[in-house]
Amino acid sequence: MKTCIITWAVSVLSACVIAAAWIHTHPPVRLARVDIKTLLDEYSKTLTDKAKPGMPEAEQVALLKAAADYGAAVEGAVSRVAGECGCAVLNSAAILKLPEGEAGIPDLTGRVRVLLQTAQNPADGNAGKK
């Protein structure tokens, strides 16, 4: 009987050690979300406000270049946010359902927006800092 108890205790202890090692070496993936559509809609509105009928071709080309550069800026800002939080960043449009209340995947759209504003206005160097 004593041997059975010792065997059981060693088995349980071994299982606990293995479980702890697994949890330590395989942490859960941290997630964050960014609403890319909102960011693109906001930028589209600013471009629409800047575009005027009969504007010179040079200004039109500059607006098109700015729009193309914005995509790269969004990519850079999302990459930076992913590095800052050490998490995978999802587009909010890819999420079908979140739990009620504040729990769930944190929304870092505001942080990406700040980084994009800093990239567009490099003279304001403090805007991108936490």
> Which tens digit of pLDDT belongs to each residue from 57-95?
888 888 888 888 888 899 999 999 999 988 999 998 888
pTM for the complete prediction? 0.68
**CATH number at 28-120:** 3.30.910.20
With cut-offs at 50, 70 and 90, classify the pLDDT of residue 51.
confident
Distance CA(101)–CA(52), nearest Å, equals 43
Q: What is the mean pLDDT of residues 40-62?
A: 85
Query: What pLDDT shows up at residue 113?
Result: 93
Q: What are 79's two structure tokens?
A: 């990459």
| Three-point CA angle 6, 12, 15, nearest 5° | 140
Tens-digit pLDDT profile for residues 4-20: 999 999 999 999 999 99
Query: Where are the domains positioned within the chain?
Result: 28-120
| Three-point CA angle 99, 103, 106, nearest 5° | 105
Helix (H) / strand (E) containing 43? helix 36-50
- Checking if the pLDDT of 129 tops 80, the result is no
With cut-offs at 50, 70 and 90, classify the pLDDT of residue 35.
very high
Tens-digit pLDDT profile for residues 92-124: 888 888 777 666 788 999 999 999 988 877 655
Q: What are 44's two structure tokens?
A: 């589209």
- Checking if the pLDDT of 22 tops 60, the result is yes
| 87: CB partners within 8 A, 6+ apart | 29, 30, 31, 32
What one-letter code names the amino acid at 49?
Answer: D
| H-helix segments, 51-102 | 57-85
Alpha carbon 77 to its chain centroid, in Å, reads: 9
